[in-house]
Each structure stands twice: as structure tokens, then as C-alpha cells.
Amino acid sequence: MDFDFTEEEKVFRKEVDEFVREELPPDWDVKTSYWPAGYGTLAQMETEFADYASEFHRKIGKKGWLSCGWPKEYGGMNSWVKNAIVDEVMSYHRAPYGGVATWISGPTIIEVGSESMKKEWLPKIANGEATFWLGYSEPNAGSDLGSLKTRAVKNGDEFIVNGQKTWGTGAHVTDYCWLLAKTDPSARKHGSATLMIVDNKTPGIDIRPIENILGIHSFNEVFFDDVRVPEENVVGEINRGFYNVMLALQYERLIMGMGAFRRVLEELIRYVKETEYNGQLLKDDPLVRNKIASIAIEIEVIYSFYWRTAWAMDQGKFSETEASVFKLFGTELSVKIACTAMEILGLYGQLERGSKWAPLLDGWASIGYLDAISGPIGAGTSEVQRDIIAIRGLGLPRD
Amino acid sequence: MNFELSEEQKMLKKTAHDFLAKKYPKDLVKKLEESHKGYSQELWKEMAELGWMALVFPEEYDGIDGSFLDLVILLEEMGYNICPSPFFSTVILGGLPILMAANEEQKKELLPRIAMGELIITLALTEPNNGLEAKSVQVKATPSNGEYVIKGTKLFVSDAHVADYILCAVRTEDASDLERGITVFLVQAKSPGVQCTLLKTLARDKQCEVIFDDVHVPKENIVGTKGQGWPIIKHTLEKAAVARSAQMVGGAQAVIDMALSYSKARVQFDRPIGSFQAVQHHFTNMWADIIGSRNLVYKAAWKISEGGLAGLESAMAKARVGEAYRRVTILGHQIFGGIGFTKEHDMHLYHRLSMAGDLSFGNVDFQREMVATELGL
């Protein structure tokens, strides 16, 4: 066993860290508010930061850091550990980079895309020139994705898409939809859908904002009204959409914003070392010490899952069950940390960004308290993860 | 990075697993736990023949030069099956501090005999109403005619009733810095004045009260340097915490394995109870608890094996496992229902040990305090 990075990985990590520190504006920390494992406050999904995010994302692309995990033949570094290093450092600094294109679309195209699709899309994705939003969920197809209703009907060398997608995180600031639509309504659930790429600018697409509980426009409901999609935009085989969605799950699982866990712990430690309450520093209160130690230990656990998952992917030993545990545990830990932060901050915790007296990077904890709710819901709820782990991982009977 | 056991480690794990399953059936475990001595001499010899007591010691002392991580893998299996024996006391609480701090003469005298299974050694540290810090060591040893005289009471001393030697941490001088002035003595367990009483513990795990009533110990029996015993104790506690955590993770794994097979076979409402989502989610929680805890234990063990400081990793592992093993056994009981509440069943063995394990070498709150300190709070 060896829990350490290689020397090369250490050098790489330092290079990424130095680059990001140099690049980001000095007031970035208090302008943005990313909370670990949350969906509501990703800077790159907010209109306010869209131009800057797009520029930053391309810079990272030029460095080759959007595609570290891809095979070398497609311009990658063949290292998911390096990919995980990049994401850890980026999320520590809340850097606006990455997304559906690099984590899901790219790897899926590599696995099942045609040669011409690979040639057309992979360089654009790796360079940060094509960004995507995820067109899976619908108003009546959430955890039960199999019951989706959006239809794509073959018409000559096109598909005509009609239906409604929801959540659509970042649909308003990205270029393309990574769409899952029903192509064979007569087939059993999982043989009935197809993945395809749809340009957001296609006539018939109507993107309407959904404001999340933080008041941020991150989600959208998106209507497709006779939207024409060229056949060459189909990803993988027709009617194999569900299987192709599952393929990308392993890559998607690593997206947790790991560095933000480390960051929130550091900020809390800094806060209790500097803040007096009832005439003593918070850090000398045994209860505060116990609470911080408790989350520090759980953060160590989530990191252990993170590096193991990345390492296992590089070894071709990816375990879906362990990755599900990682997702389940990390998102629930995010909630626990938010609650612990609020408990430690006391009355001041409720002060929101911009308020007089707002503590901890100008009201970060109150943002986290709201945002953390999203983690255990998005990308497969905690309940769905628990089902997967019990049935597929532990071999428990379905009925 | 590499998160896999080596081939040798996998082999060690399998050998240990099979040996323990065969030689320590639960009937015997229960019998040994209720017996006064608490272990089987015959099986102790067999374990020595397998090289387990020699595992972690260098070849020059008749050891087999394994790493601390190897030891942890063995202990995980001992926790899985439950293996009542003075192994933990002798190797971790006795052998490791001797290896770390004793002089060459003492090492040559003691370590080969430990490695061969010829000696049982333990550590006397805890005192009545005191914890596990330097300031907690208050029993005194006073110099007298080239010897030291120890007077005082030590508690929760594992296997002292069967030990040949007891390492005893005492105060030999009152320094303002409480980490100074502590000395570790090697005391013959049969020395006049040593009174040993077995305590009746939750897990029947053979912890003793040891009264040192003017026990004379030659100064040659100091382990390490006089007055500088605290670092020996501190590092031993660090290793003991990780080693105990490994046993506990093994125990938790046994609980989930037992409960899994039960839940697939036990039928209620015309279906196996393992098909109920409420039960399945209990299992997911147990399993997540176990694998996360195991990661921390291995990381701490790896750090110790690499020779690095592992104060933070050790405290994190012990705190996490202390909580997790208890949670796992409580859910395990929930799954077994009434049958698990019977003496005949094996669940209660693990339920007892999960609590005993948390209490030993610093419980979850103690370890969290250590973590806080390590984090600079």
C-alpha cells in the first residue's frame, strides 16, 4: 500500500495550485460561494460570472487539464488521479471550470462515439470550447429516469425532438444539451432511449430560468418544440441511451468539489482560532474542538474514498458500489458540515452575505446551510444510492 | 498511490482467516471468555508456530521482519473471528515498546522469547480516576539502595493475571513539565508485592487491577532512559490505537457478514427480510461505515510502517472506528431481532467488544480532542 502521490503528481499538483492562485481575481472568495457537494452555487452556472468562467475554462483547457483522465490518443494524460488532483485544487479555490462536457460527454464519446464524432467533439471539449448541460431529468422522470417522455422521432437524416426537460443546470450559460430522449416508446424502459447532442441555438428550444433556494439562477426548465437534431449528433447506438448514460456514471462520480471540503475545514479552524465568545477563544471550548475534530475525521474519510476511486479507475478496477458510497457519504457529509458550521457560529451564522457582522468569508455558512440540501438529491438521491449499494454491492434480494 | 494489499499480505490475511475460523469456533471463544485464564495455551503455541508473535520484530531478534501494516492485517482477522489471547498485550503493549526503547541486552533477552511465544507481557498505565495523558501518570517509584520501589495502583491492565512481565509507567521525579519525569520499568509479574485482581468486564476481556505494594525493581530494569518514558508510552498508545482499530474493523466486518447471510435466509411476510428497503438501507449504512473506517486504519498503519509521525492519523482512525463499530453492531442486532438477544447467539460477543474497543486506548471523545490538538486548535 501507498497512500502518497508520486513525485510527478506532487509537482503537477503544485503547478495547478500556483496557476489557479495566480489566475483568479483577488476578491473571488467573497464574490463566489461554492459549498462542497452542492449544486446551487457553481460560479460557472451563474450569468454574472459567465464570461469570466468561459475564459477561465478555456485557459484550463489549453493547459490540457480538462482531459487528464482521457486516453493519450485523445489528447489526455491517461490519469484519473491527475484529473482528481485538478478538480480538488480547482474546487478548493472555487475556480469556475469543468462540467458535463469534460466529465460526462467527453468520456462517453470516447467509449461509444463514432470516429467522426470523436474527431469533431473531443478537441472542442478538451479545449473548453464546447460546454454542455445535462438533459436527463423531466418533471415526471427524476429518480425514475426510465419513465422519461421527451420524444425524438426519426425523420430522414434528422430527429425531431419534442418534450420538456427540467433542472438543466447551466442550460442558460452552456452551448449544447446532452440529451436523453425516447426513440422507441414500444421498447421496455431501458431499451427505449437515445443520447444525442443538441445545439442550444436550434430553433424550437425555449430555456426558462428556475431560481434555486439561494436566489441564484442555476437551473432551467427547457422546452423542445419540433427541434431538429442531425443524425450525426447521436451518441453511441440508437436505443442504447440508458446504457450509455450508465457508462459515464463512473466519471461523474468523482465530481464532488473535494477541495471545498478541505477549504471549509480550514476556514472554520481559522475562525475559531480568531474569534472570542464569552471571553475565551472558540478554539478553547471543548465542544467546539470536538465538533471540528468530528468533521475533520469525516472529511478524511471522504478523501479516502476520493483517491481510492480515482486510483481504481486508473487501474481498471472501478467499483460502482464504492463510488456510490462516495457520492452518498460526501453529499450527506456536506449537510453535516453545514449544520456544524452553523452550530459553531451561533447567532452570527444566520447573517447572510453582505450583512453587517456576517462571519466566515462573508456569510458562507448560511449559504452552505441552504446549498448543502441539494447534494443528497441531485445525481441519484441518497435513497437511490442506498438501494444500488444494497442490491448490486451487497447482493441483497430485490424482492 | 496503491490501495491494494501485497500478495504476501493477502496470503497472511487468508491464512489467519482460515486458521482462526477453524481453531476458534464461537463455542470455544465463549468458553475462553468465561474462563479465568482467558486463553488456550495450546492454541497460543500454534499461533507462535505460525510466526504471528514474531511477525513485526526484526530478524536479529528471531522475528520475521514484517511491517506494522502486516500486523494490522493479522489483527483485523483476529477481530473478525475473535481470538481471546494475550497476543495484543504481548506484541503491541509489550513487544513494541521494548523494540522501540529497550537497550540491546534487554532486547536480546526478551524479544526472541516474545517471538517464540514464550513470554506474556503487558503494559500498566491507567490509574484510578485518571486518563491517558502524561499528567495521569502519578504512581511513584522511589530510589532505594540501587533499586526503585513502586507503590500504587494501576487499572485496566490487560492479561496481567497471566503475564510474565509488566511494563509499568511510573513517575520518578516531579518536573514542572509533566511529560518529563516518567519512567517505564520492566517488572516481573511474580515479584513480591504485585497483587493482581481480574476485573469483571463487559467483554470478559481479562483486564486487571494491579496493585504495586512496595515492589522492588532493579534499576537495570528501566526501559529507555529514566525520566524520559513518556514518548515511549505516547508512541505505544498511538500504535495500540491503530492496532485496536484494526481488530474493531474486523469485528464490524464479521457483524455485517453474519447479518447479510441471515437477512437473505430469514423469511417474514413471505420474503427474505433482506429484500425490505428499510433493512437494505441499514446494510448500506453499515457497509459505508466499515469501508470508510478501514481506509483510515490502513492509512494510519501505513504511516506508522513508513516511520512517519502518525498522531493525527491514529487519532482519526480510532475515533472513527470507535463510533462506527458501535453503530454497526447496534444495526446488526436490529437485523437479527430477538434471536440476537440470546446468549446462545454470537452477536452479543461483537456488541460487547465494540464498546470495550471504543473505551480502550482513548474513546471517541478523547481521540477527537487529540485530533483537535493535532489540527492546531
Band (pLDDT 50/70/90 cuts) for residue A143 is: confident
Task: Please state which architecture CATH assigns to domain A133-239.
Answer: Beta Barrel (2.40)
**How much is the average pLDDT of A287-313?**
97
Per the structure block, which three cell numbers stand in for B139?
Answer: 504512581
Question: Residue A253: its pLDDT value, please?
Answer: 80
- The Cα-based distances of B261 to A166, B255, B273, B283 in angstroms read 42, 10, 11, 12
If you search the block for the grid coordinates 428556475, which residue do you land on? A210
Listed by number, the residues of chain A in 78-107 with a beta carbon closer than 8 Å to a beta carbon of chain B are: 81
Question: Residue A191: its pLDDT value, please?
Answer: 84
Question: Which residue of A396, A398, A399 to mutate against B (max B Cβ within 10 Å)?
Answer: A396
Work out how many CB contacts closer than 8 A connect A with B.
139
The shortest C-alpha distance from B32 to chain A (Å) reads 33
Residue A155 CA, chain-centre distance (Å), reads 34
- A399 has a chain B CB within 8 A of its CB: yes
CA dihedral B318, B321, B323, B325 (to 10 degrees): -140
The shortest C-alpha distance from A284 to chain B (Å) reads 7
Which residue of chain A has the CA closest to B316?
A297
With an 8 Å Cβ cutoff, are A328 and B377 in contact? no
**DSSP code, position B158:** E
For residue A249, is pLDDT > 80? no
Helix A80-92 to helix A7-23 angle (10° resolution) is: 30
**DSSP code, position B102:** S
Predicted ipTM? 0.94
Name the percent of chain A lying above pLDDT 70: 100
With an 8 Å Cβ cutoff, are B369 and A290 in contact? yes
State the average pLDDT for chain A.
95
The b-or-e profile of A252-286 (16+ CB within 10 A means b, else e) is bbbbbbbbbbbbbbebbbebbeebeeeeeebbebe
**How much is the average pLDDT of A108-136?**
96
- A396 has a chain B CB within 8 A of its CB: yes
Give me the residue spans of the domains in chain A.
7-131, 133-239, 248-393
CA distance linking residue A107 with residue A244, whole number of Å: 10
Question: Residue A248: its pLDDT value, please?
Answer: 81
User: In the Cβ-directed half-sphere of B174, how many Cα atoms lie within 13 Å?
Assistant: 3
With an 8 Å Cβ cutoff, are A397 and B275 in contact? yes
Cβ-based neighbours of A286, under 8 Å, separated by 6 or more: B369
If you search the block for the grid coordinates 474546487, which residue do you land on? A91
The b-or-e profile of A298-311 (16+ CB within 10 A means b, else e) is bbbbbbbbbbbbbb
With an 8 Å Cβ cutoff, are B275 and A329 in contact? no
- Among the partner residues B288, B319, B375, nearest to A325 by beta-carbon distance: B288
Listed by number, the residues of chain B in 96-125 with a beta carbon closer than 8 Å to a beta carbon of chain A are: none
A248-393 CATH fold: Butyryl-CoA Dehydrogenase, subunit A; domain 3 (1.20.140)
Band (pLDDT 50/70/90 cuts) for residue B221 is: very high
With an 8 Å Cβ cutoff, are B275 and A396 in contact? yes
* B263-294 residue pLDDT tens: 999 999 999 999 999 999 999 999 999 999 99
Question: Residue B308: its pLDDT value, please?
Answer: 82
* B158-170 residue pLDDT tens: 999 999 999 999 9
The b-or-e profile of B28-67 (16+ CB within 10 A means b, else e) is ebbebbeeeebbbeebbeebbebbbbbbbbeeebbbeebb
pTM of the entire predicted model: 0.95
- The Cα-based distances of B307 to A344, B30, B170, B235 in angstroms read 36, 38, 27, 11
Chain B hits for A311, CB-CB cut-off 8 Å, are: 1-3
The b-or-e profile of B223-242 (16+ CB within 10 A means b, else e) is bbebebbbebbebbbbbbbb
∠ CA B164-B167-B172, rounded to 5°: 140
Of A46-55, B38-47, B277-286, the range with the lowest mean pLDDT is: A46-55
Chain B hits for A10, CB-CB cut-off 8 Å, are: none
Question: Which residue of A340, A383, A394 to mutate against B (max B Cβ within 10 Å)?
Answer: A394
* Sign, CA torsion A180/A183/A186/A191: negative
* Phi and psi, residue A69, nearest 5°: -80, -15
Which residue of chain B has the CA closest to A307?
B1
- A307 has a chain B CB within 8 A of its CB: yes
For residue B223, is pLDDT > 90? yes
Written as one string, the DSSP assignment of A28-85 is: HHHH----TT-STT-GGGSGGGHHHHHHHHHHHHHHTTTSTTS-GGGT--S-HHHHHH
Largest Cα separation within chain A, whole Å, is 77
**How much is the average pLDDT of A184-205?**
92
Which residue of chain B has the CA closest to A302?
B292
Question: Residue A188: its pLDDT value, please?
Answer: 79
- B260 has a chain A CB within 8 A of its CB: yes
Band (pLDDT 50/70/90 cuts) for residue A280 is: very high
The shortest C-alpha distance from A195 to chain B (Å) reads 31
With an 8 Å Cβ cutoff, are B299 and A3 in contact? yes
CA distance linking residue A271 with residue B193, whole number of Å: 54
With an 8 Å Cβ cutoff, are A325 and B292 in contact? yes
Question: Residue A187: its pLDDT value, please?
Answer: 86
Question: Residue A394: its pLDDT value, please?
Answer: 96
Domains defined along chain B, listed by start: 7-119 (1.10.540.10), 122-227 (2.40.110.10), 231-374 (1.20.140.10)
The shortest C-alpha distance from A290 to chain B (Å) reads 6
CA distance linking residue A374 with residue A40, whole number of Å: 7
- Among the partner residues A288, A328, A386, nearest to B280 by beta-carbon distance: A386
For residue A189, is pLDDT > 80? no
Using DSSP, state whether B94 is helix, strand or coil: helix
User: In the Cβ-directed half-sphere of A230, how many Cα atoms lie within 13 Å?
Assistant: 5
* B289-345 residue pLDDT tens: 999 999 999 999 999 999 988 999 999 999 999 999 999 999 999 999 999 999 999
* Sign, CA torsion A209/A210/A216/A219: negative
- A268 has a chain B CB within 8 A of its CB: no
CA distance linking residue B216 with residue B221, whole number of Å: 11
User: In terms of DSSP H, where are the helices of chain A?
Assistant: 7-23, 28-31, 50-63, 80-92, 100, 106-112, 115-126, 241-253, 258-274, 286-314, 320-345, 360-371, 382-388
Chain B hits for A293, CB-CB cut-off 8 Å, are: 319, 367-372, 375, 377
B158, B205 contact by CB (below 8 A)? yes
Question: How many beta carbons lie within 10 A of that of residue A36, not counting itself?
Answer: 28
For residue A379, is pLDDT > 90? no
CA distance linking residue B136 with residue B117, whole number of Å: 32
Question: Residue B203: its pLDDT value, please?
Answer: 96
- A226 has a chain B CB within 8 A of its CB: no
- A305 has a chain B CB within 8 A of its CB: yes
The b-or-e profile of A57-94 (16+ CB within 10 A means b, else e) is bbebbeebbbbbbbeeebbbbebbbbbbbbbbbbbbbb
Name the percent of chain A lying above pLDDT 90: 88
* A302-317 residue pLDDT tens: 999 999 999 999 999 9
Q: Which residues pair with A181 in a beta bridge?
A: A194
State the average pLDDT for chain B.
97
Question: How many beta carbons lie within 10 A of that of residue B282, not counting itself?
Answer: 23
- Among the partner residues B5, B302, B316, nearest to A300 by beta-carbon distance: B316
With an 8 Å Cβ cutoff, are A395 and B296 in contact? no
B79: nearest Cα among B281, B294, B335: B294
* Sign, CA torsion A336/A341/A343/A348: negative
Written as one string, the DSSP assignment of A208-220 is: EEEE-TTS-EEEE
Which residue of chain A has the CA closest to B267?
A399
The shortest C-alpha distance from B117 to chain A (Å) reads 29
**How much is the average pLDDT of B149-157?**
98
The shortest C-alpha distance from A10 to chain B (Å) reads 12
User: In terms of DSSP H, where are the helices of B82-123?
Assistant: 87, 96-101, 104-115
Which residue of chain A has the CA closest to B377?
A283
**How much is the average pLDDT of A64-83?**
95
Which residue of chain B has the CA closest to A9?
B1
For residue A118, is pLDDT > 80? yes
CA distance linking residue A217 with residue A208, whole number of Å: 10
Task: Please state which architecture CATH assigns to domain A7-131.
Answer: Orthogonal Bundle (1.10)
Chain B hits for A397, CB-CB cut-off 8 Å, are: 264, 271-272, 274-275
- A283 has a chain B CB within 8 A of its CB: yes
- A398 has a chain B CB within 8 A of its CB: yes
